[in-house]
Chain A
Amino acid sequence: QKEVEQNSGPLSVPEGAIASLNCTYSDRGSQSFFWYRQYSGKSPELIMSIYSNGDKEDGRFTAQLNKASQYVSLLIRDSQPSDSATYLCAGGGGGADGLTFGKGTHLIIQP
């Protein structure tokens, strides 16, 4: 069974600091990985995708993938209170059956 594991948190980070979110996955066939942000009562929104080993940067966000260790991470630099949300890690095998999601990490940015 495909599994994606995340620490549920809450993870509390001071404003302006770097928030580090981590995720591991069980399915070695997974080829694509995503980070979604979900505010309370809202739907998930895509913030980062990563398909190959290494780092991918987009503004304040950096996604990191290590397929050998089956590990995905998300770094948020210069954290803002508006970054407070639940972050969902997801993996997909490239097939037709959608993504497997982790349960999410609740991130709190303290002003």
Chain B
Amino acid sequence: IAGITQAPTSQILAAGRRMTLRCTQDMRHNAMYWYRQDLGLGLRLIHYSNTAGTTGKGEVPDGYSVSRANTDDFPLTLASAVPSQTSVYFCASSDILGANVLTFGAGSRLTVL
């Protein structure tokens, strides 16, 4: 089934630890995105990528990094997790740059203690 796969589904993490959330899509979409969703704040863009080899910062990029080595994978790394990064993280992709029709993964729930 074509779509976006995120891993892990859920994770509890100690503050200060490094964590990578994985995102893989099999739709050959050129654009990929990472959003976080928090109660009362909605979905906020962390980082995005237009195509393999390029990335950009969204609304809330601090404390996060991404890479785009190929079309399919777009991992999000928290170098040193803090409790304020407790959130649900959604990876998304779109097929035509600028068309903005996003397809979302199932999400990764991260708790930082």
Which residues A15-33 have CB closer than 8 A to chain B? 32
CB-CB under 8 A from A32, the residues of chain B are: 99-100
Q: Range of interface residues on chain B? A: 20 to 34
Q: How far is the CA of A102 from the CA of B48 in the complex (A)?
A: 18
In whole Å, how far is B20's beta carbon from the nearest beta carbon of chain A? 20
Contact between chains at A46 and B102 (CB < 8 Å): yes
In whole angstroms, how far apart are the Cα atoms of A41 and B33 in the complex? 20
Scan residues 31-76 of chain A and give those whose CB is less than 8 A from a CB of chain B: 32, 34, 42-46, 49
Q: How far apart are the CA atoms of A48 and B101 in the complex, in Å? A: 10
**How many Cβ-Cβ contacts under 8 Å join chain A to chain B?**
63
Which listed segment binds A: B62-70, B76-84, B104-112?
A: B104-112
- A91-103 CB mask vs B (1 if < 8 Å, else 0) is 0101111111111
Q: Which residues of A contact B21 (CB under 8 A)?
A: none
- Residue B97 interfacial (CB < 8 Å): yes
Q: Which of B53-93 contact A (CB under 8 A)?
A: 56, 58, 90, 92
Tell me the B residues contacting A by CB distance below 8 Å. 31, 33, 35, 40-45, 48, 50, 56, 58, 90, 92, 94, 97-107
User: 8 pairs across A/B with beta carbons < 8 Å?
Assistant: A32-B100, A34-B100, A44-B90, A96-B48, A98-B33, A98-B35, A98-B48, A98-B100
Q: Which residues of A contact B (CB under 8 A)?
A: 32, 34, 42-46, 49, 88, 90, 92, 94-104
